[in-house]
Amino acid sequence: MLLMKFKNIFFGFLKTLLLAVIFYSSLLYASIFMFLDLQNYPYTANDFRPYFFTMDATTGNLIKVPDTQNIFQFKTYNLDLKSDVALYKAEVKPVLLKWKATITEPDTDSELASDLSGQMERYVRRDLTNRLPSREVRVVIYEDNIEAVSYMNNAKQTPEIDIIAANPEGMLEGQTTIVKGGGSALLEHIVRAYQEEGVERVRLYAVHSGYYAKRGWKVEGACGY
């Protein structure tokens, strides 16, 4: 009887542990709100430069090669301004629609980026139709090409990044021709801009929360936050 009781307790513990692992593993890929405390932001010295992957002829592995000659450029579209709305429709919207139509492998980061691009275009179109204020689009540019786009809501007390998406072609597995690092550079640019404006906190609607957690973002509502 004692042995049977011990087995029940032991297997009950294993079941609880397994459920906890499944829960926290799924949390890394859930769509949740996260925030970043800009007063204690530890990454302001980071310099997110463009880079490429190249094939190592000896090992056959991909290796990261930074671009030491070029840098990312940034541009902001204030959607409260008719002139910026016109520029967005001419310069950014076609890129989002192209990314949306990109052929990708199922269940990959590239597919997610493609889906987010289409979602962003729909959100911007909806909010422009409803004339919602204090919206802006920011992009990162490399050699005259947009490589990542973000859509932000500045109407709230805490600014909110609704969506951020990178070029899905650059996220295709094994590709070596399209620049990498645009999404990280754009996010850093946004954070620095808010920090310089004296903003204390930024919210983000995250899909891959594990990616952002490594950069100091915290899950909203977790552990007292």
Q: What is the CATH number of the domain that holds 41?
A: 3.40.630.30
Can you state the angle between helices 93-100 and 109-129, rounded to 10 degrees?
Answer: 140
Q: Are residues 11 and 116 in the same domain?
A: no
pLDDT digits (tens, 9 = 90+) for 148-168: 999 999 998 899 999 999 999
pLDDT digits (tens, 9 = 90+) for 196-219: 999 999 999 988 778 888 888 999
Q: Are residues 8 and 111 in the same domain?
A: no
- Using CA atoms, how far apart are residues 176 and 127, in angstroms rounded to an integer? 37
**pTM (2 d.p.):** 0.83
Q: Which domain holds residue 169?
A: 31-224
Quick one: how far is CA 106 from the chain centroid? 19
